[in-house]
Each structure stands twice: as structure tokens, then as C-alpha cells.
Structure 1
């Protein structure tokens, strides 16, 4: 049975090990151990029998807007509902925080659409998001990611 829980600082090494192939391929942005530690409260983990199989972060940009970041699922668990479970957990967290919208920049448009996200023009994303994160990406400024948003 899959368990979802908030990350702890002691989880950072396992998190980095899980995400490193996707970082190397440019699918997910590189985050340093220090950056993860600073934002540790935003991460939710998926565990199977105590072993890390996935995680994502809910990064708050403004009182009304957050972003789902760094969604990663161990390859053998993909397509089994783990990602949906993680997204639902962070959506519930966003509702509890009083957010109005959650943003996602992704290559997995259909996955997010199934969860109620709607595609929006990238130009409508807050500027601080583009310059704070996108500029670090190896694909910047030519990006194939799709921006989607979900109203809560």
C-alpha cells in the first residue's frame, strides 16, 4: 500500500538519487541539497513499504498561487496512480492553505488535464516564476513545456 507523507531533511539524499536521471535529461530542474532543505516543508513523498517511490513539491508563489514542482515517480511505479495520489495530496494541502490556483509546467499535459488542470498561455505565468526557475533550465528560452492551471 502506498503511503504519502511530508518530507524530512533526512530524505534529501534519497530524493536526489530518485530524481537525478530526470535532472540529467533536462526533464526536471536541478535543485541543490540546500535548496531542497530550505523548501523541505513543500515536499510530499510517496512510499511503498517505507521505500521512496516518488515525490513532488507545492511551491507557494503568492497568497493565491502555488506551483507543483519536481514531480517524479520511480519508473516501475508509473501508470499505477502514484502521481495522481501525490497531486491530490498537494491539491488538498493547497486548499487547506487557502490557495486559489495551482500552476504546473510540464511535458505531461494529458496527465494534468485528467486531474482538472487547463492549459494556459505561458505569457500569463507570473514573471518572477520565469526568471527565478526557467532561466536555470538547459532548455531556456526554447521550452517545450506546457503551462497548466487548476482553480481550487
Structure 2
């Protein structure tokens, strides 16, 4: 349980279940529409459900992210979203901290992210890296589906654990 700053709100971090997919899709829909977050089908989320961490307030999803494993030493934090009225309260930081804890427990050495929120991740110890250094299979599996591909303004960042 975490307490968000500026509000006396209790946020519980939990693993996602298949029953959460519909509400996850509703929360992320505006960010997908603007192209901030890559669209993922409900089937794709279901296939990767074990990688998702939810932030819930009184049972309602107020944020989530996924820890996607690329190699035995590299994972990616992706699909980070926080409900608009809960942004700036520590929900995103808590989700990232939990994802990093999970990565460490798995033996992951580095965590990657591609984001438009560079300063947010830098505050959490991530450093910018050239996009050319990210795994090629990431580009062909995910980036190619993005409406901004190949002209992308996202920044690649990495954190060594």
C-alpha cells in the first residue's frame, strides 16, 4: 500500500488479471488515441498479463505499467499510464519502483524505456541512450506498429540495476 502525496489516498499495487483487461483498455484509450502509448489488443494484453502491474484505488484502476522481458539481462518498462486526475501524486513512481523490484528479483541487469516523459524517468535514475542501441527485435515487434514510425520523438532511456 502506498500513500499518494498531496492526497490521503491509498493506492494498492497488484498484478493484473484477465478480468482487468477491459478497464485497462479504457484507461489507456486516450493515450493510445494521441499516439503517446502504443495500442495493444486485448489478446496481446492477455498473452502478457503476467507482466502488468496495476495501481488501484478503492478497487478501481488508476494506473498501470508492464515489465516486458527482452533477454535474460534486459527488460523494458512499457505502457505506463496514470489516470489524469492522479498524475503528479507518486502513482507512476510507485509503479516504476515495483517494476524495477520485479526485474531485480528476476536477475535482470538493465531496464529500458522509450518515452515522451524523459524528465520523469531521469528523476528515477534512467539515462538517455541512442535509439540505435535498443534491441532490433523491439523495433520490428513494437515500433513498426506505431503511427509515428519511423519518425519518432520518443527518447530511449536505460537504468542499470
Q: Deviations over 1:6-55 (max 9, x none)?
A: 00000000000000010011000000000000000000000011110000
Q: Deviations over 1:61-118 (max 9, x none)?
A: 0000000010000000000000000000000000000000000000000000000000
TM norm structure 1: 0.99
Which residue of structure 2 aligns with residue 23 of structure 1? 32
Which residue of structure 2 aligns with residue 102 of structure 1? 111
Which residue of structure 1 aligns with residue 51 of structure 2? 42
Report the Cα distance in structure 2 between the residues aligned to 1:31 and 1:132, rounded to whole angstroms. Answer: 12
Q: Mind listing any 5+ residue stretches in structure 2 that lack a counterpart? A: 1-9
Report the Cα distance in structure 1 between the residues aligned to 2:30 and 2:135, rounded to whole angstroms. Answer: 28
Aligned residue runs from structure 1 range 45-64, under 5 A: 45-64=54-73
Structure 1 vs Structure 2 CA RMSD:
0.3
Corresponding residue SS for 1:35: helix
Report the Cα distance in structure 2 between the residues aligned to 1:101 and 1:53, rounded to whole angstroms. Answer: 27
Q: Mind listing any 5+ residue stretches in structure 1 that lack a counterpart? A: none
**1:119 aligned onto 2:128:** yes
Which residue of structure 2 aligns with residue 151 of structure 1? 160
Aligned residue runs from structure 1 range 74-89, under 5 A: 74-89=83-98
Corresponding residue SS for 1:67: strand
Match of 2:79 among 54, 65, 70: 70
Report the Cα distance in structure 2 between the residues aligned to 1:79 and 1:114, rounded to whole angstroms. Answer: 13
Runs ≥4 in structure 1, deviation > 4 angstroms? none
TM norm structure 2: 0.94
Corresponding residue SS for 2:22: helix
Count of matched residue pairs: 152
